[in-house]
Amino acid sequence: MFPFSFEWVWDMGHMVFFGGFWYAIGILSAGMTYCIVKAVLNTMNDSGESH
């Protein structure tokens, strides 16, 4: 549920539940985006460290 959904209410319950949920999803998405973009750049430049 997003704040623009008709069911959304600006109360503590919605803010804590969805704040925590989107915070966690945001970290995971940002982490994976960083890894993928860096891997693409490493592959293009072939300059990544060998693992």
Partner 1 sequence: MDSALIPEGAKRCPLPKFSIGIAIVSAVLLWGVYAMFLCWFKGLNQTNMNDYYGFALWIWADLAVIAVGGGAFFTGLLKYIFKIDELKNIINFAVIIGFICYSSALLILAIDIGQPLRGWFIFWHANVHSMLTEVAFCLSAYFAVLTIEFIPNILENRQANKVPFFHHLAHNMHGVMAIFAATGAFLSFFHQGSLGGVAGVMYGRPFAVREGLLVWPWTFFLFTWSAAAYGPCFTLLVTKTTEAITGKKLVKDNVIHLLAKISGWMIVTYIIAKIIDTAYWAMVTAPSLGFNLSHFYTDNSFYGYWMLITEIVICGVVPGAILITKSTRENPKLRLVAIILGTIGVCLNRWVMVLQIMAVPVMSFDTWALYIPSWQEIATTVLPVAYGVILIAFAYRYLPVFPQEQELNQVKPVTE
Q: Could you say which of 3, 4, 10, 14 contacts partner 1 (CB under 8 A)?
A: 14
Name the residue among 24, 13, 15, 12 with its Cα closest to residue 2.
15
CB of 29 to partner 1, least distance (A): 9
Read off the DSSP letter of residue 9.
Answer: -
The CA R_g of the chain, rounded to the nearest whole Å, is 18
Regarding 3 and contact with partner 1 (CB under 8 A), the answer is no
Residues that bind partner 1 (CB under 8 A): 1, 5, 7, 11, 13-14, 16-18, 20-21, 24-25, 27-28, 31-32, 34-36, 38-40, 42-43, 46, 48-49, 51
